[in-house]
Amino acid sequence: MTALVDSARPVDVGGPDAGAASTAGTRQLLRLIARRDRFRILLWLGGIVGLVAATAASITGLYSAQADLDRYAELVRGNAALIVQSGPGYGLQDPAVPATTGAVVMNEVAIWTVVAVALMSLFMTVRHTRTEEETERAETVRALPVGRHSELTAALVATGVTNVLVTFGVVVTLLAYDLEPVGSIAFGLALIGSGAVFAAVAAVAAQVAGGSRAALGLGGVVLGASFVLRAVGDVGNGVLSWLSPIGWAQAIRAYADERWWVLLLPAAATAALLVVAFELQARRDLGAGLMPERPGPSVASPRLSSTIGLAVRLQRASVISWTVAVALFAFLYGVVADQAESILEDNPEMEDFFAQLGEGSVTDAFLATATLILALLATGFTISSVLRARAEEVGGRAESLLATPTSRERWAGGHVTVSIVGTTIMLLVAGASEGFGLALVSGDREWIPRLIGATLVMVPAMLVTGGVAMVAYGLSARLAMAAWGYYAFTLVVGMLGALLDLPQWALNLSPFEHVPAIPSEPMDWVPVIVLVALAGALFATGLTAFRRRDMS
Amino acid sequence: MSVAISISDLVKTFGTTRALDGLELEVATGEVHGYLGPNGAGKSVTIRVLLGLLRADSGTATLLGGDPWRDAVELHRRLAYVPGDVNLWPNLTGGEIIDLLSRLRGGVDEGRRDDLIERLALDPRKKARTYSKGNRQKVALIAALASNVELMLLDEPTSGLDPLMETVFQECIIEATREGRTVLLSSHILAEVEKLCDRVTIIRRGRAVQSGTLAELRYLTRTSITVATEQPIVGLESIDGVHNVSSDDGHVRFDVDGRSLDQVVRTVSQFGVRSLVSQPPTLEELFLRHYGDELEAANGATGRDESVQGG
C-alpha cells in the first residue's frame, strides 16, 4: 500500500498553463523544422543576402567619388515620391553633412530587406503553427509527450535563428563592401528586431485566426499597415512612422548617427505580443480559432455548381483583401504624386533625374513608377491565384472533383480565370483609386481615367507571369514553385533594374520591361498586344501539359 | 456476362517502384467486387488509373467500355468515387460539398441526399474543417451514393466509420446493387468484403495473386481457433475443413472452414473445454500462411520486398 502511494505521482491536469512541461519536446521539434525547412531557409538566406549584396555592389561601383554620393543625396532630399518608397533617407537629409555610401545603400535597399525579413518571419511562423494544425500531423505530434507550447516555441525559435542567420549574412556582406562596422551592425540589429516583431505578430495571428490562410492574411495586413503608416509618417511630420515596426527599423539611423535606444521598441513589442500569443494558446483548443465556428448553410447556393464557381468561392476572400490593399497603396501614391512636382520646382537636378525616366512631367514620371510598383506587387496575387490549383491538388482536394465529369483543363482553367479576372479588377480599382487620390489634391478629375488606363496596360505583363506559373505547374506540381523565383526576378528587375546594371537581354526577360510607362510615355499597342498573345499561349501550353501528366 | 472493368497486364511505375506490376482485374457488371490487399499493395493506384488521374505505363485498362485516360470526362458521368483519404475544403459545409460534387456529376436527387444524410447521421451545416475523418468520409459517401451512376469506385470507404455507421453503409451498398449498380470495393478488412462481395480479387505488390468467388476462396472465411481441453484432443485432423493444426503447452491451434465449424465444436467439446478463443484471421496472416513460401522465393529472387515479416 505504501509502495503504491509512494510511486503515485500527482497528476497535473493543467490550468491554462501546465508549467515547465508545456514546452517539453521543443528541441526535437526544432530538429524537425530544420529538416523540413533546410532548403527554404537557404532560399530566403540566398535571396535576401543576394539582394543586399547586389545593391551594395552597384552603389559602390556607381558612386565611388564623394561628389557622386552628394549628388545622389541631393536627388533624394525631400523627394516625397522617393520617400514613400524608401523612407526618410537618414544621412542624406542635411546638405551640410557629406553623404556616405552606407546611407545611400540603406536608402536603396533597407526597406525591402526589412519587408523581406518580415515576410519570411510571417510565413515561417505560421507554417509551423497554424498550417500544421490544419493537418493531422499536429495531432500526432501533440499526442507525443510534447508540451502545449512546444510547437509555438519551436516555430519562434526556428524563425529567430533563421533571422539571425540572414542578418549575419547581410552584415558580413555589408562589411565585405567596406561599409562602416557600426552602421552595419545597427542595420543588422534593426533586421533582427523587425523579424522578431513580425514573428510575434504571426504568433498572435495564428491564435486569433480560424485557419492558416486567415493567419497569413492578418499578418499581411499588419505588414501592409506598417508600410503605409511609415510612408505617410515619413512624408509628413514623422509621428505615424513611430507606430510602424518598419519605421522603427529605419529610425535606428544606420550609418547616420545611430540611435540605439530605438531597439527597445521592437524588443518591447515582441515581448508584449509573445505574452499575448502564449496566453491565447493556453486557452484555445487545438485547431480552433478564438471565434467559435458558426453553422453554415446545409445546401449549396446555385453559384456553387461548377468548378469555376468553386474557384471563385475559394479565392473570393483573397481577391477582396488584395484589392483593398493595392487600392490603399494606390490611393497613397495618388495623394503624394502632386507633391512630387512642387518639391521639384526649385531643384533642377532632380528635374533632370526624372526627365531621364520619360518624356512627360515629373508627376507623370512619378506616376509611371508608382504604377509599375503597384503592378509588380499585385502580380503576387496573379501567381498565387494560378497556383491555388496546385494547393488544391497537393491538399488532395482535386481528385474528388476530377472524378466527376470535369476535365482537368476546365478545373485548372477555373483558377486561371479567377486569376485573370481578379488581376484585371484589382488593377482597375488601383487605377481608379490612384486617380481619385490625385484628383482629390489637384482637383483634376481627368486623372481618374488616365490612371485607370495606365494601370490596365500593366495587366498583360502580369498575365504573362501568371502564364509562366501555369506552365511550371502544368509540367509538375513540384516545379510550380519555380514561378515564385521568376516573380522575384521581375521584382528585382522592376525595382532595382537600372541600378543593378544588368545586361539588356536579362532585363528583357521581364515582361514589365516592355510595357509603355504611362503616363510618362505615350501608349504603344504593339507590346501590349504581343504580351496578351504571349500570356494566352503560355496559359494554353500550361493547361495542355497539365492534361498529360500524372496527378500527385 | 458484360464487363464493367477489365484490366490486363497493367504496369505503373514511380521511379524505381513498380506500383502495379502486370495487374489483372475483371469486374462484371452488377457485382460487388472486393479488392483486397494489404497497405501499399497498389489498390489506390489501380483506382487512380481507372479514374484517369494516373497514366499507366503499359497494359490495358477498360472501364465501362472506354479508355479511362482518354475518355475520362465521359466515363465520369457514369461513375462515382470515394477516396480512401477524403480531403475537403475547410471553409465549405458538408452540405455544400455534397451538393457541389453531385451537381458536377449531373444533378442532385434531393430526397435521396436528405435520406442518406439522416441515415448516416451527418450534420450538413458544419464546416468541413470541424469534421472528423469519419464525417469527412460520410460526406464523400453521401455524394457518391446519392448520385445516379452505374459504377462506384470505393477506396477503403469505411476506414473511419464506427461499427454502427458501417452497418448503414453496408445496407446502402446492398440497396445500390439491387438497383443494378456495379461496385468496386477496395478494403483490407476481410469481414466487410465477406458481407458485401460476390467476387474478390486479392492484390499483393501490384499483382493479382488470386481472384474468384468467396466460395472459391474458401480459406478466406476460415476461423482461427485456440483451445485448451481437459484431455488431449484426438481426431481433429481427420475432420474435413480443418487446417494447420499445431499444439503447444496444452493449447491446440488450428484453422477451420466456416462449414466445418459445427462439427469441430462438437468434437472438441467431448474433451472438456477449459478455454476457447476464436478469431477471424487477419489478411496479413492469410497472406503469410498461403503465400509465405512464394513470397520468400520472390524475395530471394528479386530482393524487392522488405515489409514481410515472419510470424
pLDDT tens for A302-322 read 999 999 999 999 999 889 988
pLDDT at position B305 is 39
How much is the pLDDT for A6?
Answer: 44
- At residue B160 the predicted structure's pLDDT band, cuts being 50, 70 and 90, is confident
What the block records as the C-alpha cell of B229 is 481441453
Q: Quote the crossing angle between the two packed helices A525-548 and A408-442, to the nearest 10°.
A: 150
Domain identity same for B101 and B235: no
For residue B65, which of B5, B7, B25, B105 has the smallest C-alpha distance? Answer: B5
Are A101 and A69 in contact, with CB atoms under 8 Å apart? Answer: yes
Averaged pLDDT, A543-552: 93
Q: Residue A274: count other Cβ atoms within 10 Å of its Cβ.
A: 18
Establish how many alpha carbons lie within 13 A of residue B95's alpha carbon, considering only the half-sphere containing its beta carbon. Answer: 18
The one-character DSSP state at A145 is S
**B151: closest CA among B203, B77, B68?**
B77
* Distance from the A123 Cα atom to the nearest Cα atom in chain B, whole angstroms: 20
Q: How far apart are CA A532 and CA A552, in angstroms?
A: 31
Nearest-5° angle of CA A403, CA A405, CA A408? 75
**B144: nearest Cα among B130, B133, B158:** B158
Question: Do A228 and A165 reside in the same domain of the chain?
Answer: yes
**Residues in A touching B105 (Cβ below 8 Å):** 404-405
Q: Does A333 share its domain with A403?
A: yes
Cα dihedral sign for A258, A262, A263, A266? negative
Q: What's the rounded mean pLDDT across residues A462-470? A: 97
CA B164 to chain centre: 18
Residues A277, A379 share a domain = no
How would DSSP label each residue in A326-350? HHHHHHHHHHHHHHHHHHHTT-HHH
Residue with the three cell numbers 486561371: A416
Among A80-94, A259-273, A340-354, B46-60, name the one with the lowest average pLDDT: A340-354
Q: Which has the closest alpha carbon to B50: B10, B100, B84?
A: B10
Q: Could you please report the per-residue DSSP string of A266-277?
A: HHHHHHHHHHHH
Contact B87 A300 (CB under 8 A): no
Together in a domain, A75 and A220: yes
Instruction: Report the domain count for chain A.
Output: 2
Question: Which residues from A are below 8 Å from B123, CB to CB?
Answer: 295
What span, in angstroms and rounded, lies between the C-alpha atoms of B102 and B152? 14
Residue B300 belongs to some domain of the structure: no
- In degrees and rounded to multiples of 5, residue A294 shows phi and psi of -90, 150
What ipTM does the predicted assembly reach? Answer: 0.79
Which residues from chain A sit within 8 angstroms of residue B85, using beta carbons?
A: 396
How crowded is the C-beta side of B6, counted as CA atoms within 13 Å? 12
Statement to judge: residues A342 and A286 lie in one domain: no
User: Secondary structure of chain B in the HEC alphabet?
Assistant: CCEEEEEEEEEEEECCEEEEEEEEEEEECCCEEEEECCCCCCHHHHHHHHCCCCCCCEEEEEECCECCCCCHHHHHCCEEEECCCCCCCCCCEHHHHHHHHHHHHCCCCHHHHHHHHHHCCCCCCCEHHHCCHHHHHHHHHHHHHCCCCCEEEEECCCCCCCHHHHHHHHHHHHHHHHCCCEEEEEECCHHHHHHHCCEEEEEECCEEEEEEECCCCHHHHCEEEEEEECCCCCCCCCCCCEEEEEEECCEEEEEECHHHHHHHHHHHHCCCEEEEEEECCCHHHHHHHHHHHHHHHHHHHHCCCCCCCCC
Under an 8 A CB cutoff, do B54 and A313 touch?
A: no
Residue B156: which region, alpha, beta or left (left: phi > 0; alpha: psi -120 to 50)?
left
Q: A116-130, A281-295, B215-229 — which is least confidently predicted?
A: A281-295
B131 to chain A: which residues are within 8 Å by CB?
Answer: none
> Who among A297, A405, A406 is closest to B95 (CB)?
A297
Domain identity same for B171 and B22: yes
Out of A238, A259, A290, a domain closes at: A290
Give ∠ CA A160-A163-A164 in degrees, rounded to 5.
90
Residue B235, pLDDT above cutoff 70: yes
Residue A312 and residue A243 share a domain:
no
Which structural domain, as residue segments, surrounds residue A230?
24-290
> How much is the pLDDT for A5?
43
Residue of A nearest to B141 (CA): A400
Is B309 among the domain residues?
no
Q: Which of A12-26, A534-548, B94-108, B189-203 has the lowest mean pLDDT?
A: A12-26
pLDDT score of A3 = 44
Q: Are residues B119 and B166 in the same domain?
A: yes
Least confident of A148-162, A456-470, B120-134, B213-227: B213-227
Residue A12 is predicted with a pLDDT of 44
Q: Are A452 and A519 in contact (CB under 8 A)?
A: no
Give the three cell numbers for residue B224.
482461427
Longest CA–CA span in chain B (Å) reads 67
Question: Using the 8-state DSSP alphabet, how is residue A473 labeled?
Answer: H
Q: Which residues of B touch A548 (CB under 8 A)?
A: 55
Under the banding of pLDDT at 50, 70 and 90, the label for residue A345 is low
Q: What percent of chain A has a predicted confidence (pLDDT) above 70?
A: 91
List pLDDT tens digits, range A138-180: 778 878 888 888 999 999 999 999 999 999 999 999 999 999 9
C-alpha span between B65 and B2 (Å, rounded): 10
Length of chain A: 552
CA distance B270 to A268: 84
- Cβ distance B129 to A293 less than 8 Å, yes or no, reads yes
Say if residue A350 is in the same domain as residue A258: no
**A483 min Cα distance to partner chain B (Å):** 24
pLDDT of residue A17: 46
The reply to whether residue A300 touches residue B72, judged by beta carbons under 8 angstroms, is no
| Alpha carbon distance A277, A207 (integer Å) | 7
d(CA A402, CA A408): 7
**The amino acid at A165:** L
Q: Are residues B116 and B142 in the same domain?
A: yes
pLDDT at site A85:
78
Separation of alpha carbons A188 and A180, rounded Å: 12
In chain B, which among 214-273 make CB contacts under 8 A with chain A? Answer: none
If you average pLDDT over residues A372-378, what whole number do you get? 91
Cell triple for A426: 484589382
The interface residues of chain B toward chain A in range 90-129, judged by CB-CB distance below 8 A, are 90-101, 103-106, 123-127, 129
Domain that includes residue B231, residue range: 223-280
Burial A317-355 (b: 16+ CB within 10 A, else e): ebbebbbebbbbbbbbbbbbbbbbbebbeebeebeebbe
Q: Is residue B109 part of a domain?
A: yes
The answer to whether A117 and A194 have CB atoms below 8 angstroms apart is: yes
Q: What is the residue-averaged pLDDT of chain A?
A: 87
| A313 and A453 within one domain | yes
Q: How far is A264 from chain B (nearest CA, A)?
A: 40
Q: Write down which residue in A231, A256, A290 finishes a domain.
A: A290
Residue B154 falls inside a structural domain: yes
In the predicted structure, residue A333 carries a pLDDT above the cut 80: yes
Cα distance between residue B8 and residue A432, in whole Å: 62
Which CATH number goes with the domain that contains B271?
3.30.70
Establish if B86 touches chain A: CB-CB under 8 angstroms: yes
User: Quick check: bond before A519 cis, omega within 30?
Assistant: yes
Q: Read out DSSP for A202-245?
A: HHHHHHHSSSHHHHHHHHHHHHHHHHHHHHHHHHTTSTGGGG-H
* Predicted pLDDT at A520: 81
Cα A130 to Cα A111, A282, B93, B141: the distances in Å are: 28, 15, 20, 29
CA distance A343 to A363: 11
Each residue's pLDDT tens digit, A19-41: 556 888 888 899 999 999 999 99
Q: Is A358 helix (H, G, I), strand (E, B) or coil?
A: coil
Q: Same structural domain for residues B128 and B254?
A: no
> Given an 8 Å threshold on Cβ–Cβ distance, is A397 in contact with B88?
yes
pLDDT of residue B284: 63
List the one residue out of B185, B146, B182 whose CA is nearest residue B166: B185
Distance CA A332, CA B243 (A): 85
What pLDDT digit, counting tens, does each position of B28-74 carry? 999 999 998 888 889 999 999 999 999 999 999 999 999 999 999 99
Same domain, B123 and B245: no
**Interface list for B 269-288 with A (CB within 8 A):** none
Residues B83-133 have pLDDT tens digits of: 988 999 988 999 999 999 999 988 788 899 999 999 999 999 998 988 888
Task: Show which residues on chain A lie within 8 Å of chain B, measured between beta carbons.
Answer: 134, 210-211, 287, 293, 295-301, 304-307, 309-310, 313-314, 395-397, 399-407, 548, 550-551
Q: Does one domain contain both A230 and A356?
A: no
Q: What is the pLDDT of residue B239?
A: 87
Percent of chain A with pLDDT over 90: 56
Residues A217 and A347 in one domain: no
Give the Cβ contact number of residue A515 at 10 Å: 24
Buried b (16+ CB within 10 A) or exposed e, A87-108: bbbbbbeeeeeebbbbbbbbbb
Domain check: are B148 and B274 in the same one? no
Exposed/middle/buried for A548, CB within 10 Å: 0-12, 13-18, 19+?
exposed
How does residue A364 score in pLDDT terms, banded at 50, 70 and 90?
confident
Contact (CB<8Å) B95/A305: no
Residue A350 has pLDDT above 70, yes or no: no
CB contacts < 8 A (A, B):
117
Do B257 and B133 lie in one domain? The reply is: no
**Neighbouring-strand partners of residue B82:** B154
Residue of B nearest to A408 (CA): B73
| Closest Cα in chain B, distance from residue A543 (Å) | 15
pLDDT number for residue B293:
52
Could A406 and B73 be called an inter-chain contact, meaning their C-beta atoms sit closer than 8 Å?
yes
- Residue (of B92, B180, B108, B99) closest to B147 by Cα position: B108
Q: What are the tens digits of pLDDT across the range B170-195?
A: 999 999 999 999 999 998 777 778 88
Q: Domain ends where: A234, A256, A290?
A: A290
Domain count, chain B: 2
Q: Are A247 and A323 in the same domain?
A: no
Comparing A48-52, A82-86, B263-267, the range with the smallest average pLDDT is: A82-86
Give the list of residues 6+ apart from residue A131 with CB closer than 8 angstroms, or none. A212
Same domain, A331 and A206: no
- A-chain CB neighbours of B80 within 8 Å are 403
Strands B223-229 and B251-256 come out as antiparallel
- Please tell me if residue B140 touches chain A, with a CB cutoff of 8 Å: yes
CB atoms inside a 10 Å sphere around CB B185 = 23
Burial of B147 (0-12, 13-18, 19+ CB in 10 A): buried
* Chain A contact present for B45, CB below 8 A: no
CB A307 within 8 A of CB A410: yes
CA-based torsion, A429, A434, A437, A439: positive or negative: negative
Give chain A positions within 8 Å (CB) of B142: none
Interface subset of B 153-212, CB within 8 angstroms of A = 153
Residues in B touching A402 (Cβ below 8 Å):
51-53, 72, 76
Q: What is the CATH number of the domain that holds B140?
A: 3.40.50.300
Nearest CA in chain B to A296: B125
What single-letter amino acid sits at B12?
Answer: K
Taking only the tens place, the pLDDT of each residue in B253-300 is 888 887 888 888 888 888 889 999 888 766 666 666 666 555 555 554
Query: With an 8 Å Cβ cutoff, are A551 and B106 in contact?
Result: no
Mean pLDDT over all residues of chain B? 86
pLDDT band at A8 (very low <50, low <70, confident <90, very high): very low
Q: Residues of A19-46 as b/e, b for ≥16 C-beta within 10 angstroms?
A: eebbbbbbeebbebbeeebeebbebbbe
Q: Which of A131, A299, A415, A548 to mutate to test the interface with B (most CBs of B within 10 A)?
A: A299
- Residue B76 with chain A: CB contacts under 8 Å: 402-406
Does some domain include residue B291?
A: no
Which residue's entry shows cell 501567381? A383
User: Taking CA atoms, what residue in A is nearest to B82?
Assistant: A400
